């Protein structure tokens, strides 16, 4: 696999004199300057092109069309036959109220308003039923297949197709594309926002800012997990452009001179900052105010201010809005005002129920975040911290395995820095586990308890900071660093969140799927397939499955006793040895990295088969039976069957 870095990945201003990364540079930055300013040493910059292959455009679009049809059939088949889940019943009921004209006002317990309006529209066109209640999710889950096309220039032609394939057959994405919850909407909006961000960084066309503003608003009116999405994208861009922000604060550059990365960072900040105002509620205890009421407080809506807290909340929200407008005004006035108008139009329209509930603007802007901050300690579901490790290994093992292998590969290619972070992660985890064990045993009290609390907080900070810093220590392209950061950051965010539920797995799996697609694209494009074919490398596609099958038989199968067992073991070991010898011969002909790449691709193909099996069983055999970890507080299928019998 070739590490390829170009000047395109550096965002170095090309004309004029200005401060760049704290150093004054006059004129155009040359190749040496690009290499000097890059986080990757100049020795890593290479122009070596990949081998790979190119799929004809007509064939490529035919594949997308086929995947789209397969996705649609898989999501629509038997869509209304599964028993209605507890959450689905609430979503369907309130959407039905909108459909019949009774109305429904925003309640953060039910998340944003987009879900209810989409289901109400479905009821209007198709009629009210279990099928029509889930139809919007099925259509969004189908459309998700085409979203990787936005990132095609970054993922590569093959990578975008692989991403589409994995999105079609992902067990968790398939399951929640057939489920009346908001999570599949969030997956579509999140992936589209990521794609728009990179398209703007690469093309610097204003239309991507306007589309980005719409996607940011759609995320906020859909579900509060948008705060995690904005936080991670903003943090990545902040790490990338902090020198530009510093130079602006020191009056060394103006906002108009910001790079595309810094400009998109400003878009995220200016549009999201007013909705972050409720975040100050974490400090409400210091001021003796109630800015976000705790869960269960009598007579008070959870997450809302009380008493004098109302005036403080209004003042803080107004101040945050003023700061956002001021920054946007001095950044790109016309562009910002147009983007802000797009954002505000969607946000106000949805939260006010198309004007029937003006107070929805306030609840959407403050209570959305306030409610879930208050719910953090409640930790509904009471799942352990390793929940996503467990459920991810059952359903999304393919993308996580590929992402993990890629992290190890780049770690060995990137010197000592990634391993320093690994040591810090291990040490921090050990300290955190020791602190938790001491609390559970109850062997500490008084001041010792405070010391352990602070030690645990420090250890947690070290673990999270080291994990998030690791992608930037890898010698790879800026885009690959982002994919690693996005995957690791999302996993950490949902692991630390108080509420852990199976439907949230789709948010955790999404970045891993895109990262896996990019890694597989790099492997495919690094291989000279014509030479592989001429060297009988295609035999590996047969040899690799046989190798794994024999290993399985050796570990788990009953090989008999006595001489029969000896003969069976001897034959298996001989065949395994011959297969390894064949791999060595292939490596001598086409090179070891290419041979291992073919073995890796064959392994992924086998894992894809198991992924398809897991998705099929979870969606079409046990879809409402609690044998699956995706099934949670699900209504019994007997109730659905009984309702059918009564109707007949």
pLDDT score at 620:
92
Task: Please name the residue that has the structure tokens 């996607």.
Answer: 215
Residues across the chain:
648
Q: Are 210 and 342 in contact (CB under 8 A)?
A: yes
Q: Are 172 and 623 in contact (CB under 8 A)?
A: no
The token pair that represents 486 in the structure block = 């996005």
CA distance 102 to 572: 70
Q: Are 502 and 634 in contact (CB under 8 A)?
A: no
Beta-bridge partner residues of 25? 18
Q: By three-state DSSP, how is residue 350 classified?
A: helix
pLDDT score at 453:
67
Sign of CA dihedral 540, 542, 544, 550: negative
pLDDT score at 443:
52
Task: Find the DSSP H helices in 352-477.
Answer: 360-362, 368-375, 387-395, 397-413, 417-441, 447-469
pLDDT score at 162:
96
353-392 pLDDT, tens digit per residue, is 988 889 889 888 888 888 888 777 777 778 888 899 999 9
CA distance 381 to 377: 12
Tell me the CA distances in angstroms from 487 to 148, 482, 493, 494, one per residue in order: 16, 8, 10, 11
pLDDT score at 3:
39
pLDDT score at 437:
59
Sign of CA dihedral 439, 443, 448, 451: negative
pLDDT score at 371:
82
Structure pTM?
A: 0.88
Tell me the CA distances in angstroms from 598 to 50, 527, 638, one per residue in order: 15, 8, 48
Low-confidence residues in the chain, pLDDT < 70: 1-50, 434-453
């Amino acid at each position: 696999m070739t590490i390829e870095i170009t000047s395109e990945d550096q965002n170095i201003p090309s004309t004029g004199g200005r401060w760049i990364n704290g150093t004054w540079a006059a004129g155009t930055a040359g190749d040496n300057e690009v290499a000097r300013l890059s986080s990757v040493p100049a020795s890593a910059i290479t122009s070596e092109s990949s081998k790979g292959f190119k799929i004809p455009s007509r064939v490529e679009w035919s594949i997308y069309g086929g995947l789209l049809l397969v996705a649609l059939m898989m999501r629509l088949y038997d869509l209304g036959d599964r028993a209605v889940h507890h959450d689905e019943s609430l979503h369907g009921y309130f959407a039905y109220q909108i459909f019949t004209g009774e109305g429904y006002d925003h309640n953060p317990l039910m998340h944003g308003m987009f879900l209810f309006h989409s289901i109400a529209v479905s009821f209007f066109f198709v009629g009210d039923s279990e099928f029509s209640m889930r139809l919007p999710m099925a259509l969004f889950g189908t459309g998700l297949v085409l979203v990787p096309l936005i990132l095609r220039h970054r993922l590569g032609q093959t990578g975008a197709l692989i991403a589409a394939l994995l999105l079609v057959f992902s067990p968790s994405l398939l399951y929640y594309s057939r489920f009346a919850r908001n999570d599949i909407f969030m997956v579509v909006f999140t992936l589209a926002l990521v794609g728009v961000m990179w398209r703007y960084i690469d093309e610097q066309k204003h239309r991507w800012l306007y589309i980005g503003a719409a996607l940011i608003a759609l995320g906020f009116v859909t579900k509060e997990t948008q705060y995690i999405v904005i936080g991670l994208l903003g943090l990545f861009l902040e790490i990338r452009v902090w020198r530009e922000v510093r130079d602006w604060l020191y009056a060394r550059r103006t906002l108009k001179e910001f790079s595309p990365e810094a400009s998109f960072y400003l878009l995220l900040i200016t549009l999201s900052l007013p909705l972050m105002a409720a975040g100050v509620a974490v400090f409400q205890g210091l001021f003796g105010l109630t800015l976000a009421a705790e869960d269960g407080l009598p007579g008070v809506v959870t997450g809302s201010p009380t008493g004098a807290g109302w005036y403080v909340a209004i003042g803080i929200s107004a101040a945050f809005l003023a700061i956002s407008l001021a920054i946007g005004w001095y950044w790109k006035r016309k562009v910002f005002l147009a983007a802000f108008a797009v954002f505000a139009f969607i946000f106000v329209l949805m939260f006010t129920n198309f004007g029937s509930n003006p107070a929805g603007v306030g609840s959407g802007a403050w209570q959305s975040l306030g409610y879930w901050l208050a719910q953090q300690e409640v930790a509904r579901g009471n799942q352990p911290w390793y929940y996503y490790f467990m459920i991810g290994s059952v359903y999304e093992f393919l993308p996580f395995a590929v992402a993990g292998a890629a992290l190890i590969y780049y770690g060995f290619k990137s010197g000592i820095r990634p391993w320093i972070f690994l040591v810090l992660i291990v040490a921090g985890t050990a300290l955190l586990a020791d602190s938790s064990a001491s609390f559970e045993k109850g062997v500490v009290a008084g001041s010792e308890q405070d010391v352990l609390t602070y030690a645990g907080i420090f250890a947690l900070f070290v673990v999270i900071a080291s994990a998030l810093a690791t992608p930037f220590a890898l010698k790879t392209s800026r885009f690959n660093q982002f994919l690693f950061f996005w995957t690791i950051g999302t996993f950490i965010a949902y692991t630390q969140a108080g509420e852990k539920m199976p439907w949230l797995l789709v948010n955790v799996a999404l970045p891993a799927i895109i990262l896996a697609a990019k890694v597989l694209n790099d492997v495919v494009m690094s291989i000279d397939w014509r030479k592989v074919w001429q060297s009988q490398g295609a035999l590996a596609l047969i040899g690799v499955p046989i190798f794994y099958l024999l290993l399985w038989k050796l570990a788990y199968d009953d090989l008999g006793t006595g001489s029969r067992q000896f003969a069976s073991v001897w034959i298996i070991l001989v065949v395994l040895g011959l297969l390894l010898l064949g791999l060595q011969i292939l490596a001598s002909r086409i090179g070891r990295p290419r041979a291992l790449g073919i073995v890796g691709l064959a392994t992924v193909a086998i894992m894809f088969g198991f992924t398809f099996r897991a998705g099929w069983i979870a969606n079409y055999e046990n879809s409402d039976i609690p044998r699956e970890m995706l099934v949670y507080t699900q209504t019994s299928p007997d109730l659905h069957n009984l309702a059918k019998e009564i109707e007949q």
